[in-house]
């Protein structure tokens, strides 16, 4: 706990100097690792780790003619907990402060903590595991109370004393905290007793190959692409519905063996410049020369007065390739963007069964990053999104993190500016 004591000591030193007189500047919070939706006894809470830099100009001596100062630097790690339904803060917790406890005299303090980081690991029961700098900690989901540290684990497992690595890369999650001890043994912690058990990942279940009527395996025409696969073909009560450009639909109809219907991701993708609209897709059944029957895409008819949806794709059930079917009124929703350049924003339009638009919500989020895509969590009657809004100010490109809560009933949204720590106006 030596560095932890240094961090606390640095904080106490800063308070002592403040009493003597100093000026301070605290920078905006910087996101640490991906955020997470935490279950607080059945109530979802949005957890976000941040890091912010503080500079203090400390008076070291004062005379009638001059004042000498020293610049001290600190790094603060905080947990911010938000209500995902309203996109508003609920409570914060200071996790760690790093600074130079030996700062004195006239020279600036050493910069300790600039390379330190934090990340959420996972939740098991009321325990939420995270790593801050070189410290492992479990916090209670309801109030952030510390439930476990390295010392807690060592007390519950004396044989692991001195064998818990201080690097986050050795920790993971699988229905409990998974870690590799310093002597290369794998363990998992599950339950409130923090008893370490030998860990082996569950074997991967490889589904048997799909067979044709003649018993030979069916081979997919191509592997699915990396990242999110845009959902562009869905089956509705009125039949098959596509969301394609003219070039994409032309390729879709080159479906001699039914691969495009069976594997819709194999249909060409016009990417970031795609101007998509609705098409009624015809599916037919054919028998090949070997007597095997299969279905394939056989025709497409453009929907009259269909809107053009830039980079359009259907809203999916999270974690699947199935569309999210909406009720009252029945219909679907489509993601798209307002523009293809940096001023473009992510939008969602809800359509009824006749493909008439009910509402469109333009969100304060960009949809241009494959490295940091917009994250989406479903709640009852709404979506919670976390991403970044792009802008250019005085020639400087900015990507500001945003938390957005979107109602699927009427398209109304609320948003929180993480860096500015304020509510976003619509």
Task: Please check whether residue 302 is in contact with residue 244, taking contact to mean a CB–CB distance below 8 angstroms.
Answer: no
Is 2 a residue whose pLDDT tops 60? no
Together in a domain, 40 and 184: yes
Together in a domain, 69 and 112: yes
Q: Is residue 309 part of a domain?
A: yes
Cα 336 from chain centroid (whole Å): 19
Pick the more confident residue, 132 or 425: 132
Q: Is residue 42 part of a domain?
A: yes
Task: Please check whether residue 87 is in contact with residue 68, taking contact to mean a CB–CB distance below 8 angstroms.
Answer: no
Together in a domain, 66 and 193: yes
Together in a domain, 27 and 95: yes
Together in a domain, 265 and 170: no
Per-residue pLDDT of 381-413, as tens digits, reads: 999 999 999 887 788 888 899 999 999 999 999
Per-residue pLDDT of 234-288, as tens digits, reads: 999 999 999 999 999 999 999 998 999 999 999 999 999 999 999 999 999 998 7
Q: Is residue 121 part of a domain?
A: yes
Using a pLDDT cut of 70, give the percent of the chain over it.
Answer: 92
* pLDDT band (50, 70, 90) for residue 7: very low
Give the CA diameter of the chain. Answer: 102
Total number of domains constituting the chain: 2
Q: Is residue 418 part of a domain?
A: no
Domain boundary among 169, 198, 227: 198
Residue 235's DSSP bridge partners are 240
pLDDT of amino acid 3: 45
* pLDDT band (50, 70, 90) for residue 210: confident
Measured CA to CA in angstroms, residue 196 lies from 137, 163, 183 at distances of 15, 12, 15
Together in a domain, 233 and 277: yes
* pLDDT band (50, 70, 90) for residue 11: very low
DSSP 72-100: EEEEEEEEEEEETTTTEEEEEEEEEEE--
Domain boundary among 324, 351, 385: 324
Together in a domain, 111 and 174: yes
Domain boundary among 173, 198, 223: 198
Is 181 a residue whose pLDDT tops 70? yes
Task: Please check whether residue 243 is in contact with residue 351, taking contact to mean a CB–CB distance below 8 angstroms.
Answer: no
Together in a domain, 282 and 171: no
End-to-end CA distance of the chain: 46
* pLDDT band (50, 70, 90) for residue 9: very low
Task: Please check whether residue 267 is in contact with residue 260, taking contact to mean a CB–CB distance below 8 angstroms.
Answer: yes
pLDDT of amino acid 16: 38
Per-residue pLDDT of 48-102, as tens digits, reads: 999 999 998 887 766 666 678 889 999 999 999 999 999 999 999 999 999 998 8
Q: How far apart, in whole angstroms, are the C-alpha atoms of residue 152 and residue 137? A: 9
Q: How far apart, in whole angstroms, are the C-alpha atoms of residue 363 and residue 414? A: 9
Residue 246's DSSP bridge partners are none
Q: Is residue 349 part of a domain?
A: no
pLDDT of amino acid 208: 85
Note the pTM of the prediction, 2 decimals: 0.88
Q: Is residue 394 part of a domain?
A: no
Task: Provide the domain limits for residue 7.
Answer: 2-198
Q: Is residue 339 part of a domain?
A: no
* pLDDT band (50, 70, 90) for residue 302: very high
């Amino acid at each position: 706990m030596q560095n932890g004591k240094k961090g606390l000591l640095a904080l106490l030193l800063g308070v002592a100097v403040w009493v003597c007189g100093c000026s301070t500047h605290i920078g905006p919070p910087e996101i640490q690792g991906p955020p997470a939706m935490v279950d607080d006894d059945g109530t979802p809470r949005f957890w976000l780790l941040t890091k912010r830099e503080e500079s203090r100009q400390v008076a070291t001596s004062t005379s009638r003619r001059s004042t000498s100062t020293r610049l001290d630097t600190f790094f603060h790690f905080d947990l911010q907990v938000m209500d995902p339904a309203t996109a508003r803060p609920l409570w914060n917790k200071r996790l760690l402060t790093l600074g130079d406890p030996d700062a004195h005299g006239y020279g600036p303090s050493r910069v300790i903590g600039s390379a330190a980081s934090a990340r959420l690991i996972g939740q098991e029961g009321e325990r939420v595991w995270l790593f801050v700098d070189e410290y492992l900690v479990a916090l209670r989901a309801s109030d952030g109370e510390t439930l476990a540290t390295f010392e807690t684990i060592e007390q519950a497992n004396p044989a692991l004393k001195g064998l818990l690595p201080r690097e986050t890369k050795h920790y993971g999650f699988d229905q409990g905290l998974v870690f590799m001890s310093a002597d290369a043994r794998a363990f998992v912690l599950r339950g409130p007793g923090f008893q370490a058990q030998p860990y082996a990942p569950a074997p991967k279940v490889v589904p048997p190959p799909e067979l044709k009527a003649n018993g030979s395996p069916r081979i997919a025409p191509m592997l699915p692409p990396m990242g999110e696969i845009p959902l562009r073909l869905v089956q509705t009560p009125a039949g098959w519905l596509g969301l394609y450009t003219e070039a994409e639909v032309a390729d879709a109809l080159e479906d001699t063996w039914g691969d495009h219907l069976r594997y819709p991701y194999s249909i060409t993708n016009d990417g970031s410049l795609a101007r998509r609209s609705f098409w009624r897709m015809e599916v037919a059944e054919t028998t090949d020369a070997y007597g095997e029957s299969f279905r394939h895409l056989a025709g497409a008819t453009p929907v009259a007065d269909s809107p053009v949806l830039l980079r359009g794709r259907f809203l999916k059930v999270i974690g699947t390739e199935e569309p999210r079917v909406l009720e009252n009124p029945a219909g679907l929703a489509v993601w798209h963007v307002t523009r293809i350049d940096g001023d473009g924003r992510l939008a969602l339009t809800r359509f009824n069964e006749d493909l008439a638009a009910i509402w469109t919500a333009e969100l304060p989020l960009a949809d241009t990053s494959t490295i940091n895509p917009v994250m989406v969590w479903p709640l009852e009657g709404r979506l919670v999104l976390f991403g970044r809004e792009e802008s250019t100010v005085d020639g400087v490109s900015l990507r500001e993190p945003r938390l957005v809560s979107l109602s699927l009933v009427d398209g109304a949204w609320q948003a929180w500016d993480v860096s500015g720590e304020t509510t976003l106006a619509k």
